[in-house]
């Protein structure tokens, strides 16, 4: 790193240049924008020839953006744990190790969610007292930012896992959005305490006793309305919710295709929401890890890198599990 750059390892961000449907083109474009416009120091990890080929399209400060080689990639169809253990020279493993070794403070990837989650758990390790890391997304609602977690890291959960998700979300929303004592809701099939399945009823009892601002059960319709600042659920349900929202956005745009004004309004709303959900936070591991949507474009990559920088600056990871 150039001494003139004024940057340190503490604010470097590693970006998996090979992760995502539009990698490396959109990933590199987003990284260049983050480095050029916002002065963020980025390390692009992946196959050097492919990355350099994309970088040749741009003018950038080489003291703020550099390439670190990793010849292998992990496919979406590979077993996550096996791939992490076998492909030591993959962009995910190499990038994660740069964070582990203190060469960078955050890792951003649009690769396999399972592989990134497994890599973070195996290579970085979980925070003290955290049983399961959780994936959380934040998006705009009618009542301000809302965090939903878990959205895919844990398909099967126990009640105490959801309580920990709530506690981690509580720290994040307080530090990033300055929400004092955020309202925490439990996603269920009705607002009444007794509604839901065994998991929600057992979790409800634990959340009611926790040292948080638990406001009770919330329904799916309360998510976009902002019925709570944080909404917790298991990863299977959370992932279905997010995928449904994405699909509804696409359908609404097609249905509004005949109306120029209607299409513009929906497109603006969809962009505003999905730019936020493009970056999912993996909370509960010893490092700042952001998993971007596989179909992320350059703008979404830029947002995810910015999100990683915010996590670093606000000390979110350090505050969890302490």
> Mean pLDDT across the stretch 294-322?
90
Alpha helix positions (H), 194-288: 198-209, 222-225, 235-255, 260-277
- CATH number for the 1-130+284-322 domain, one of 1.10.1740.10, 3.40.50.1820, 3.40.718.10, 3.40.462.40? 3.40.718.10
- Find where tokens 């292998």 sit: 72
For residue 122 the two structure tokens come to 């195996």
pLDDT for the residue numbered 105: 95
Q: Between 265 and 78, where is the model more confident? A: 78
pLDDT at residue 5 greater than cutoff 50: no
Under DSSP, is residue 303 helix (H, G, I), strand (E, B) or coil? helix
pLDDT for the residue numbered 274: 47
pLDDT at residue 62 greater than cutoff 50: yes
> Mean pLDDT across the stretch 198-215?
96
pLDDT for the residue numbered 150: 95
Q: Between 253 and 40, where is the model more confident? A: 40
pLDDT at residue 169 greater than cutoff 50: yes
Under DSSP, is residue 293 helix (H, G, I), strand (E, B) or coil? coil
Tell me how far apart the alpha carbons of residues 235 and 149 are, in angstroms, rounded to a whole number.
Answer: 7
11 falls in which pLDDT band (50, 70, 90)?
confident
pLDDT in tens, 234-281: 999 999 998 888 787 777 767 766 555 554 544 554 444 444 456 899
> Mean pLDDT across the stretch 180-191?
95
pLDDT at residue 12 greater than cutoff 50: yes
- CATH class of the structural domain 132-282: alpha beta
Instruction: Of 7-16, 86-95, 302-311, give the range with the top mean pLDDT.
Output: 86-95
Tell me how far apart the alpha carbons of residues 312 and 317 are, in angstroms, rounded to a whole number.
Answer: 8
Of all residues in the chain, the percent with pLDDT exceeding 90 is 75
Which residues, 6+ apart, have CB-to-CB distance to 140 below 8 Å? 146, 272, 273, 276
pLDDT at residue 6 greater than cutoff 50: no
Q: Between 25 and 5, where is the model more confident? A: 25
pLDDT in tens, 103-144: 999 999 999 999 999 999 999 999 988 999 999 999 888 888
322 falls in which pLDDT band (50, 70, 90)?
low
> Mean pLDDT across the stretch 43-69?
95
pLDDT for the residue numbered 314: 92
Lowest pLDDT segment from 93-102, 130-139, 274-283, 293-302: 274-283
pLDDT for the residue numbered 261: 54
Dihedral sign for Cα atoms in the order 225, 231, 237, 243: positive
Nearest partner of 108 among 261, 296, 249, 235, judged by Cα:
296
Every domain of the chain and the residues it spans: 1-130+284-322, 132-282
Lowest pLDDT segment from 84-98, 202-216, 251-265: 251-265
Tell me how far apart the alpha carbons of residues 263 and 125 are, in angstroms, rounded to a whole number.
Answer: 45
pLDDT for the residue numbered 1: 29
For residue 39 the two structure tokens come to 């002065």
Average pLDDT, the chain: 89
Which residues, 6+ apart, have CB-to-CB distance to 43 below 8 Å? 12, 13, 14, 15, 65, 66, 67, 68, 95, 98, 103, 104
Nearest partner of 277 among 90, 156, 76, 141, judged by Cα:
141
- Long-range Cβ contacts of 207-210 (<8 Å, 24+ apart): 207/162, 207/163, 207/166, 207/232, 210/163, 210/166, 210/167
């Amino acid at each position: 790193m150039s001494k003139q750059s004024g940057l340190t390892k503490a604010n470097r961000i590693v970006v998996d240049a090979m992760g995502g449907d539009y990698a490396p083109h959109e990933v590199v474009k987003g990284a260049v924008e983050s480095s050029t416009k916002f002065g963020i120091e980025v390390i692009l990890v992946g196959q050097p020839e492919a990355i350099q080929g994309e970088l040749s399209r741009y003018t950038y400060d080489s003291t703020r953006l550099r390439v670190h080689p990793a010849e292998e990639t992990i496919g979406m169809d590979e077993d996550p744990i096996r791939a992490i253990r076998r492909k030591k020279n993959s962009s995910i493993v190499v990038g994660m190790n740069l964070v582990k070794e203190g060469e960078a403070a955050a890792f951003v990837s649009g690769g396999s969610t399972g592989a990134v989650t497994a890599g973070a758990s195996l290579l970085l390790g979980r925070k003290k007292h955290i049983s399961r890391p959780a994936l959380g997304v934040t998006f705009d609602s009618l009542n301000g930012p809302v965090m939903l977690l878990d959205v895919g890291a844990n398909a099967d959960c126990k009640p105490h896992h959801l309580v920990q998700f709530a506690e981690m979300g509580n720290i994040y929303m307080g530090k990033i959005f300055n929400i004092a004592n955020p309202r925490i809701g439990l996603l269920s099939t009705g607002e009444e305490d007794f509604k839901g399945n065994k998991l929600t009823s057992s979790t409800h009892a634990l959340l009611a006793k926790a040292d948080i601002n638990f406001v009770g059960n919330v329904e799916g319709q309360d998510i976009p309305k902002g019925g709570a600042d944080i909404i917790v659920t298991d990863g299977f349900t959370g992932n279905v919710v997010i995928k449904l929202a994405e699909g509804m956005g696409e359908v609404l745009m097609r249905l509004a295709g005949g109306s120029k004004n209607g299409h513009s309004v929906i497109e603006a709303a969809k962009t505003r929401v999905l730019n936020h959900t493009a970056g999912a936070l993996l909370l509960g591991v010893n490092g700042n890890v952001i998993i971007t949507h596989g179909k992320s474009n350059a703008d979404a990559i830029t947002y995810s890198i910015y999100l990683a920088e915010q996590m670093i600056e606000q000390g979110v990871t350090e505050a969890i599990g302490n």
